[in-house]
Amino acid sequence: MPRYTGLMADVRIEVRDNGPYRITGRATILDSKGDPLRGDEPVALCRCGQSPVKPLCDGTHKRAGFQSAPRP
């Protein structure tokens, strides 16, 4: 796997089985206006569509019974 240099080299996006996308590293997530959402690390992005704080995950996928375990 090639290793890239620069800011994005330290960013990792993990697709969690039955859960959110988990982003670690120096990444800036912007809203539709271009404003940063938050600077915390790690950040979890909703995949189930049920979170009231979308695009952030708040754990609602567990109560909603969301299931997804994609494999390439």
pLDDT at 37: 84
Residue 1 belongs to domain spanning:
1-64
Using CA atoms, how far apart are residues 5 and 14, in angstroms rounded to an integer? 20
User: Model confidence at 12, in pLDDT bands (50, 70, 90)?
Assistant: very high
70 falls within a domain: no
Q: With respect to residue 31, please indicate whether it lies within any of the assigned structural domains.
A: yes
CATH number at residue 18: 3.40.5
| Tens-place pLDDT, residues 17-64 | 999 999 998 888 898 899 998 767 889 999 999 999 999 999 999 999
> Is there a domain that residue 72 lies in?
no
Residue 71, in any domain of the structure: no
For the cut 70, the answer to whether the pLDDT of residue 4 exceeds it is: no
The answer to the question of residue 59 being in a domain is yes
Element (H, E) at 62: helix 60-64
C-alpha closest to that of 21 among 52, 46, 53: 46
pTM: 0.77
The β-bridge partners of 24 are 12
- Count: domains in the chain: 1
